[in-house]
């Protein structure tokens, strides 16, 4: 099964994708994680990507698409994937359709997460991520804090705040870009009949774990 996670930054796409991946065995492919790894290692791709990410802008298609296309050729991705952070615009979505069609595959489900803007900004400012690249577990010091401050519950590695999560103005800029570039994907996948929109917010007492659990039940029920 091929799944796409949609939703603005801070809605919990990574959390939901991670839970679904863990319970179903479908690999989670996060473009953000790949970018951050390359940035920290100062690879040519990372240096180019950082020029955009550090300003709260999207990485251009000519950098992103080939990277994702290559990742989809890996052995663990042949039975399906959960794409987190891709596609981000209609051009990427159309290219992804072409890539999958050539393999005799398609997108089966698109999970669109919706959260109030003020809540998103607060979540991102209070988000912390495990520094262990093999773990990458995400926490929120308000909503989902680690048992020991600054330490990952799963692997014991230090937690850190992403550089692009520390500036409220950069966060607002990323949200504006999402609305401009990425939100049209909602209509694109709605027209294909694969869209599932879920509100994730403390105001409705429904968080990422709840969404993930419901999706997992549906996936297993369809098998």
Q: Residue 210's domain is classified under what CATH number?
A: 3.40.50.300
Report the number of distinct structural domains present in the chain.
Answer: 1
Question: Does 45 map to a domain?
Answer: yes
Rounded-to-integer distance, Cα 146 and Cα 156, Å: 10
User: Contact, 46 vs 39, CB < 8 A?
Assistant: yes
Neighbours of 170 (CB within 10 A): 18
User: Contact, 67 vs 44, CB < 8 A?
Assistant: no
pLDDT of 180 strictly over 90: no
Q: Which residues contact 25 (CB under 8 A, 6 or more apart)?
A: none
Question: Does 159 map to a domain?
Answer: no
Question: Does 78 map to a domain?
Answer: yes
Catalytic residue annotation: 13, 88, 127, 162, 174
> Domain containing 179: what range?
3-115+168-222
Question: Does 123 map to a domain?
Answer: no
Question: Does 11 map to a domain?
Answer: yes
Question: Does 156 map to a domain?
Answer: no
The token pair that represents 64 in the structure block: 């992103």
Question: Does 125 map to a domain?
Answer: no
Question: Does 210 map to a domain?
Answer: yes
- Which tens digits make up the pLDDT trace of 2-33? 999 999 888 988 889 999 999 999 999 988 87
- Which tens digits make up the pLDDT trace of 183-219? 899 999 999 999 999 999 988 888 888 999 999 998 8
Q: What is the pLDDT of residue 57?
A: 79
- Which tens digits make up the pLDDT trace of 97-115? 999 999 999 999 999 999 9
Rounded-to-integer distance, Cα 92 and Cα 183, Å: 13
């Amino acid at each position: 099964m091929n799944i796409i996670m949609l939703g603005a930054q801070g809605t919990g796409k990574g959390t939901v994708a991670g839970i679904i991946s863990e319970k179903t065995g479908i690999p989670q492919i996060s473009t953000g994680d790949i970018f951050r790894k390359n940035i920290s290692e100062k690879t040519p791709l990372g240096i180019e990507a950082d020029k955009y990410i550090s300003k709260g802008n999207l990485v251009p298609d000519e950098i992103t698409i080939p990277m994702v296309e290559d990742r989809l050729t890996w052995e663990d991705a042949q039975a399906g994937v959960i794409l987190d952070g891709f596609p981000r615009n209609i051009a990427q979505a159309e290219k992804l359709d072409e890539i999958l069609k050539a393999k005799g595959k398609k997108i089966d489900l698109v999970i669109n997460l919706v959260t109030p803007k003020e809540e998103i900004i607060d979540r991102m400012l209070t988000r912390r991520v495990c520094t262990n690249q093999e773990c990458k577990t995400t926490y929120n010091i308000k909503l989902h804090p680690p048992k020991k401050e600054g330490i990952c519950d799963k692997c014991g590695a230090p937690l850190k705040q992403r550089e692009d999560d520390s500036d409220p103005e950069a966060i607002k800029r990323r949200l504006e870009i999402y609305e401009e570039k990425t939100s049209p994907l909602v209509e694109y996948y709605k027209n294909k009949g694969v869209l599932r929109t879920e509100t994730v917010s403390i105001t409705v007492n429904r968080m990422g774990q709840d969404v993930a659990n419901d999706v997992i039940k549906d996936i297993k029920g369809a098998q």
